[in-house]
């Protein structure tokens, strides 16, 4: 029982990441009808926003101390971080919380990236076949990841989480069990909570604001909304920006769990595509549901007991589910009837 609960928890953070990326992917597909293979790259760009912010915050001033020589006879270097000299303890805290703070950097950056991407390239592909959309966004993804590789190198760059969230929570005790049965890293819980909040915010935005209502109307019937005199294209562009922001902040918060490198986006992209297909192309609740479901499923499949029965199942479970879903129920779990069903 405990083991099962633990695996369930283990799946939540990865599921959260899948859900967030899949949400953006679905949003773009639902509004603009574009299959965006560069969406994983946006996740990766978000992660590198965190890397950049930390680099800026930890910039150091090097003073050579001629009095004290090191064992090699060179002057000792005294390194002081700028922020710490300027702000003292507050500066130390800034560095400590660099990952969550990076969200503030990622939001404007990703918004700009998203809007530029949509206006600059993707808008020319609305009326072209899906195959060409896939191809051009695939090319774009390569370009983005290679630019990142050029500036940040090919190796993963670990990002520490805030020190007071670095430990593990003893959830078992909270639930009245003995200590040390269910121990779970704090940051994963934070990531799960964060993904739930972001998903909730996106849904609330679509459901309760006029802007969101217009967008939903546009998703249902683009032409009629256009005929009423609403510039639906502008709103859809904004939705692309929103999708980019969601993917970006998802990437920022994921950095302590997985050191980002330039092909992080590609690794996640294939999986999220599968998630979107399982959830139902164009269905937002479907994307979220399938994201968490597949995350949890993957975590269960990596249990040693299950791997003993079916070796290698943890590597392929997600793809296997996708194949079964596509063959049995092609519109996905919550997909609308007739959407891409042929």
Partner 1 sequence: MNFQGIFSMSRKDLTTLVIFSIVVLALPIWLQPFGAAYPDLMQKFAIFGILAIGFNILFGLTGYLSFGHAAFLGVGSYTAVWTFKLFSMNPIPALIFAVILSGLFALLIGYVSLRRSGIYFSILTLAFAQMSYNLAYSVLTPITNGETGLQLEAGDPRVLDSMFVAEEAGLPVSNFFGIEMSGIPGFYFCAIFLILGFFITQRIFASPFGMMLRGIKSNQTRMNYTGFNTRPYTLTAFVISGMYAGLAGGLMAVTDPLAGAERMQWTASGEIVLMTILGGVGTLVGPVIGAWLIKYFENIFSSFNESVLHNLFGFLPDGVEGFVVELTSMFVGEGWHLTLGLVFVLVVTFLPGGMMEGYRRITTLFTGGGGDGDKKAKADDTQTQPAE
Residues near partner 1 (CB under 8 A)? 35, 120-121, 124-125, 128, 130-132, 134-136, 138-143, 146-147, 149-150, 154, 266, 270, 273-274, 277, 281, 311-312, 315-316, 319-320, 322-323, 326-327, 330, 340, 342
Residue 84 beta carbon to partner 1: minimum distance, rounded to whole angstroms: 32
- Strand ranges (E), the chain: 60-69, 75-81, 168-170, 183-185
Closest CB to partner 1 among 61 and 124? 124
Closest CB to partner 1 among 139 and 200? 139
Closest CB to partner 1 among 73 and 311? 311
Contacts of 158 (CB under 8 A, 6+ apart): 259
Residue 282 beta carbon to partner 1: minimum distance, rounded to whole angstroms: 12
Residue 146 beta carbon to partner 1: minimum distance, rounded to whole angstroms: 4
Closest CB to partner 1 among 69 and 316? 316
Secondary structure element (H or E) that encloses residue 336, with its range: none
Residue 30 beta carbon to partner 1: minimum distance, rounded to whole angstroms: 14
Residue 179 beta carbon to partner 1: minimum distance, rounded to whole angstroms: 35
Closest CB to partner 1 among 220 and 270? 270
**CA-based radius of gyration for the chain:** 23
Backbone dihedral region for residue 336 (phi beyond 0: left; psi -120 to 50: alpha; all else: beta): beta
Closest CB to partner 1 among 176 and 312? 312
For the chain, helix (H) and strand (E) counts, in that order, are: 15, 4
Contacts of 314 (CB under 8 A, 6+ apart): 298, 301, 302, 306, 307
Closest CA to 294 of 312, 314, 267, 265: 314
Closest CB to partner 1 among 146 and 178? 146
Residue 210 beta carbon to partner 1: minimum distance, rounded to whole angstroms: 32
Query: Is the separation of the CB atoms in 6 and 281 below 8 Å?
Result: no
Residue 153 beta carbon to partner 1: minimum distance, rounded to whole angstroms: 10
- Rounded-to-integer distance, Cα 206 and Cα 200, Å: 10
Q: Convert 213-251 to b/e letters by CB count within 10 Å (16 or more is b).
A: ebbebbbeebeebeeeeeebbebbbbbbbbbbbbbbbbb
């Amino acid at each position: 029982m405990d083991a099962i609960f633990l695996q369930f928890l283990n799946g939540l953070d990865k599921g959260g990441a899948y859900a967030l990326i899949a949400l953006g992917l679905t949003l773009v597909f639902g509004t603009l009808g574009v299959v965006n293979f560069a969406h994983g790259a946006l996740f990766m760009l978000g992660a590198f926003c965190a890397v950049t912010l930390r680099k800026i915050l930890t910039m150091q001033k090097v003073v050579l101390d001629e009095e004290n020589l090191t064992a090699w006879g060179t002057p000792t270097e005294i390194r002081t971080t700028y922020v710490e000299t300027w702000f003292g303890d507050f500066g130390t805290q800034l560095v400590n919380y660099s990952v969550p703070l990076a969200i503030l950097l990622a939001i404007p950056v990703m918004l700009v990236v998203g809007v530029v991407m949509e206006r600059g390239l993707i808008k020319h592909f609305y009326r072209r076949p899906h195959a060409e959309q896939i191809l051009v966004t695939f090319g774009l993804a390569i370009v983005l990841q290679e630019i990142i590789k050029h500036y940040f190198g090919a190796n993963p760059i670990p990002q520490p989480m805030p020190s007071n969230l670095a430990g593990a929570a003893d959830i078992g005790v909270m639930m009245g069990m003995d200590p040390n049965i269910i121990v779970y890293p704090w940051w994963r819980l934070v990531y799960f909570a964060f993904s739930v909040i972001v998903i909730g915010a996106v849904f609330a935005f679509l459901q309760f604001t006029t802007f969101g209502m217009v967008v939903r109307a546009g998703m249902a019937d683009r032409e009629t909304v256009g005929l009423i005199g609403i510039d639906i294209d502008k709103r859809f562009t904004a939705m692309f920006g929103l999708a980019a922001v969601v993917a970006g902040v998802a990437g920022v918060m994921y950095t302590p769990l997985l050191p980002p490198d330039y092909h992080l986006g590609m690794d996640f992209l294939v999986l999220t595509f599968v998630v979107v297909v399982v959830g139902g192309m164009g269905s937002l609740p479907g994307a979220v549901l399938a994201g968490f479901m597949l995350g949890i499923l993957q975590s269960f499949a990596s249990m040693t007991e299950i791997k003993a029965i079916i070796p290698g199942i943890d590597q392929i479970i997600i793809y296997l589910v996708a194949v079964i879903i596509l063959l049995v129920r092609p519109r996905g779990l919550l997909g609308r009837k007739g959407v891409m069903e042929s």
